[in-house]
Structure 1
Amino acid sequence: MALNCMKSLRSITIRSEVIGVLGCRTYAAGKAKKGAKAGGAADAPKKSLLTKELKSTTVVGANILKEGGDPKVLADSEYPDWLWHLLDKRPALSELRRKSTETLPYDDLKRFVKLDNRARIKENNSLKAKN
């Protein structure tokens, strides 16, 4: 059986063009301008088409819809108050454990309970994984 396969493989003649196409991957060459070097000025970064005025009045790239344009930048007073507190530093679990739970504000107490529950779940999971 194996000898028959070897004989049939030897009898197949493959043209060199087919080997060239199957053996290597090629890419189409881009259209080169006359007098331009390949990979020269075409790879240089292009200047932005947006003006400074447009950049300062709109949020460029924030539009997620197919229709419409980018949203305009509003005055600070038109945004909700909670937005300005998103990047405020919040206390870590170790810092919250050092404080008394009776004196913690409601938001910090809620954060303490959430972080403490998460830490206990992770500890229980690691103990179960070791057994």
Structure 2
Amino acid sequence: MAMSCMKSFRSFIISKEAFRVVNCRTFSAAGGKAKKGSKGGAGDAPKASILSKEMKSTTVVGANILKDGADPKILPDSEYPDWLWHLLDKKPALSELRRKNIETLPYDELKRFVKLDNRARIKENNVIRAKN
């Protein structure tokens, strides 16, 4: 009786493993890129813009966030605040700020120096603690 139970139990384990092998999911090498009925490379060509050059030069295309709104018009430079033109200016790195005299730095650069120096010190302490 014990032998018949062992045989049935062994066959159950084998069939369960075989079931796992049969039900393994695989993916194709193409990754689903090719579509049925499509010819190679036909869908990769850039589409022509339907907007006129005049509209592109007078409006901020794609800046509308409202469902029923329109794209905002581009205003003359005098209509925008002064700080806007300095957003993309390069700011000095920590190494440059360390070379300068701290007492002569303007407030904005001093504030940036303190922030970057604290960040560098924290990173150094983390590296030292990670090695121990």
* TM more than 0.5: yes
Q: Name the SS for the 2:114 alignment partner.
A: helix
Amino-acid identity (%)? 70
> Measured at CA, do residues 42 and 90 of structure 1 come closer, stay the same or move farther in structure 2, by a change above 3 Å?
closer
Please state how far the C-alpha of 1:94 moved relative to its aligned partner: 0.7
Code of the residue aligned with 1:117 in structure 2: it is N
For normalisation by structure 1, the TM-score amounts to: 0.68
Determine the C-alpha separation between the residues in 1 that align with 2:79 and 2:113: 32
Determine the C-alpha separation between the residues in 1 that align with 2:126 and 2:27: 51
Q: Name the SS for the 1:67 alignment partner.
A: coil
Tell me the equivalent position of 2:75: 74
Structure 2 counterparts to residues 40-79 of structure 1, below 5 A: 44-79=45-80
- Paired residues, what number? 111
For normalisation by structure 2, the TM-score amounts to: 0.68
Tell me the equivalent position of 1:88: 89
Q: Quick check: which one's helix share is greater?
A: 2
Q: Name the SS for the 1:46 alignment partner.
A: coil
Code of the residue aligned with 1:112 in structure 2: it is F
Which structure 1 residue ranges, 5 or more long, are not aligned? 10-21, 33-37
Coordinate RMSD, CA, aligned:
2.9
Please state how far the C-alpha of 1:90 moved relative to its aligned partner: 1.1
Which structure 2 residue ranges, 5 or more long, are not aligned? 1-7, 19-24
Code of the residue aligned with 2:124 in structure 1: it is E
